[in-house]
Amino acid sequence: MSSNNGAGQKKLGKLTAAERIASIVDSGSFMEIDKYVERSNAVAGYPDVSAPGEGVMTGWAAIDGRPVCIVAQDYQVLKGSVGTAHAAKIVKALDMAARSGIPAVCIWDSGGARVQEGAAAVNAYASIAKKLTDISGVVPVISIAAGGMLGAASLFAPLSDFTIAVEKMAEIGVYAPMILASSEGKPVDGDALIGAKVSEEKAANAQFACATEEEAIATLKKLMGYLPSNNLEESPLEAFSDDDKARAVAADGSDTMALLKDMADDGDFFAIQPGFAPEMITGFAYLDGLAVGFVANEAGACLTPKGCLKAARFVRFLDAFDMPVVTIVNNGGVEVSLAQAQSCQVRALAKLLYAYAEAGCPMVTLITGRAIGEGYVAMGNKGTGADVVYAFPNAEISAVEAEAGGIILYGGKGSAEQFRETFASPMAAAKQGMIDDVIQPQDARRMTIAAIDLALNKREQKLPKKHGVMPL
């Protein structure tokens, strides 16, 4: 393998590229390709900088028996700097993943561009980004940020389906800490500004922040257990459990996370991007052995621009791989504030609605509480293509708040309850065909599984087009 003894990485508390690959893949399964590649595209007059392997290890292997393509930047060789040969190896591996229909796992740890190559080095980044774009929605791409992802390399994180960032190692940002320090005129803490936690919780450049590389690898393996190998694979996600599909649910919907865990096989719900916009919960679970994606409001919380963007991205991933999405609706609509109104609120809501409306994957929605106005419209309803919609008996579904509805229809403030019972009850929505059934909370697991089973083999004919224009 194209790496030295790794002394430099050890001093930094890091694994080498070879060690990272060995820790991730099944023993003896890694088959390296292009390990002897050595070429430079240095600008005339500048010394060539090249080495066997060109600072990145690529090949294929197996993770828990499943074939994957592997990319691991090797900081021990030329600081993992990106040049034309380095990029060509990565592009070749990603292309191999798409052609073979297997996930791509990328480990990023680079010192930056191969500056001696001039414009060619910048174009090298662009070629990687283009390939990540080309294979998006074809095979899952999972990245581990275990070092520098700076400048153009920072784009590789959001261009991956999921990014796992390692604390005290990952740096994901356009500018390096020393440039930020120069701009601020004072020393800065790189980890606090562009490290793993801020990348997951604030910048949304990562879906997970892990304390160690070992934790990152464990997260990667768990995540892969929920993902198909490609967009044509039919339900390779079955991991049947002994959990009774008709098991009664104890949670009543007032605690969304409790409800999710109650519904999931063996109580195992795997949250995605938990630190970012926590009012919107996204994650995976098995339902009767089938991997399903969940989008859920934290009970009673308002819809926020960040929460809508988080959910929209997840819905689009699920749709790309035709995975069922279960939506749990119980929100306070949109917060009434000037700050929210001026923070791309409308566009974020439109993105979420667009993601649902465009999706053709199985979609089941469970209204457990409030679904008022835009809080209803944006969250996976009949109008935007949900296959089955259930509601709990205490749900409130309406165009406007009950207080406002009472004033509009009855002319007095004391009519809110009358409005709620007449126009906003789940039974009223069911009579209009907006709700397929009003169910008891204890039946949520059984009924959701039944609805997914119904929708798994649905057929849809969409209008022919290159693509829509999402309100980005």
pLDDT of the residue at 237: 62
pLDDT of the residue at 4: 47
Residue 403 domain flag: no
Instruction: Name the range with the highest mean pLDDT among 5-14, 136-145, 398-407.
Output: 136-145
Q: Is 188 in the same domain as 330? A: no
Which residues neighbour 417 within 8 Å (Cβ) at sequence distance 6 or greater? 402, 406
Q: Is 290 in the same domain as 214? A: no
Q: Which domain holds residue 34?
A: 7-224
Question: In CATH, what number is assigned to the domain containing residue 81?
Answer: 3.90.226.10
CA 114 – CA 110 distance, rounded (Å): 10
- For the chain, what is the domain count? 2
Q: Is 29 in the same domain as 160? A: yes
Q: Is 70 in the same domain as 218? A: yes
Domain final residue, candidates 203, 224, 245: 224
| pLDDT tens digits for range 140-164 | 999 999 999 999 999 999 999 999 9
Instruction: Name the range with the highest mean pLDDT among 106-115, 129-138, 407-416.
Output: 129-138
Q: Is 27 in the same domain as 165? A: yes
Residue 465 domain flag: no
pLDDT of the residue at 441: 98
pLDDT of the residue at 10: 63
Residue 448 domain flag: yes
pLDDT of the residue at 2: 40
Residue 83 domain flag: yes
Q: Against a cut of 0.95, is the pTM above it? A: no
| pLDDT tens digits for range 246-291 | 999 999 999 999 999 999 999 999 999 999 999 999 999 999 999 9
Q: Is 213 in the same domain as 265? A: no
- Please report, to the nearest 10 degrees, the dihedral formed by the alpha carbons of residues 28, 33, 39, 41 taken in order: -120
Q: Residue 3 — very low, low, confident or very high, per pLDDT cuts 50/70/90?
A: very low
The two three-digit tokens of residue 294, written as one number: 């969940």
Q: For residues 85 and 53, is the Cβ–Cβ distance under 8 A?
A: no
Residue 241 domain flag: no
Percent of the chain at pLDDT exceeding 70: 93
Q: What mean pLDDT do residues 57-76 have?
A: 96
Mean pLDDT of the chain: 91
pLDDT of the residue at 313: 98
Q: Is 296 in the same domain as 387? A: yes
Strand pairing of 208-210 and 388-391?
Answer: unpaired
| pLDDT tens digits for range 73-88 | 999 988 889 999 999 9
Q: Residue 461 — very low, low, confident or very high, per pLDDT cuts 50/70/90?
A: confident
Q: Is 145 in the same domain as 100? A: yes
Q: Is 154 in the same domain as 262? A: no
Residue 447 domain flag: yes
Q: Is 276 in the same domain as 155? A: no
Domain final residue, candidates 202, 224, 246: 224
Q: For residues 217 and 23, is the Cβ–Cβ distance under 8 A?
A: yes
Q: What mean pLDDT do residues 390-416 have?
A: 86
Q: Is 184 in the same domain as 43? A: yes
Q: Is 201 in the same domain as 64? A: yes
Residue 327 domain flag: yes
Q: Residue 419 — very low, low, confident or very high, per pLDDT cuts 50/70/90?
A: confident
Residue 8 has pLDDT above 80, yes or no: no
Residue 175 has pLDDT above 90, yes or no: no
Residue 50 domain flag: yes
